Amino acid sequence: MMPKFLVLKSAAARLTEIFVYTQRQWGDEQAHHCIDGIFDRFEQIANREVILRPIPAEFEVNGFYTVYEKHYIYWKELLSGQIGIVTILHERMHQMDRFKEDVEK
């Protein structure tokens, strides 16, 4: 059985950054809690349990986003029918610049 979602390379790198930052700031337990929550949201996205918010036109990419706590999760539907998690950005990051960096990878 094919997984419902795939974490694309750019999103995997962001997950590592989020984990390391959270671990340094608040410890192992909080870092694991944060990453577990993000993966729970991936499941909700794949199961269509979140509102489909289109990515704003200025990003020039077809796809959707949702918010988990203070992180924006961007995804698109892949040709296989799976959900491709494109990137995860903290609300304080300059969204357009970081998003374009990750989409171009």
pLDDT per residue, tens digit, the chain (105 aa), is: 677 999 999 999 999 999 999 999 999 999 999 999 999 999 999 999 998 899 888 777 789 999 999 999 999 999 999 999 999 998 876 555 555 566 655
Which among 17, 2, 31 is positioned nearest to 88, based on CA atoms?
17
Domains and CATH numbers, the chain: 5-104 (3.30.2310.20)
Q: Which residues contact 44 (CB under 8 A, 6 or more apart)?
A: 50
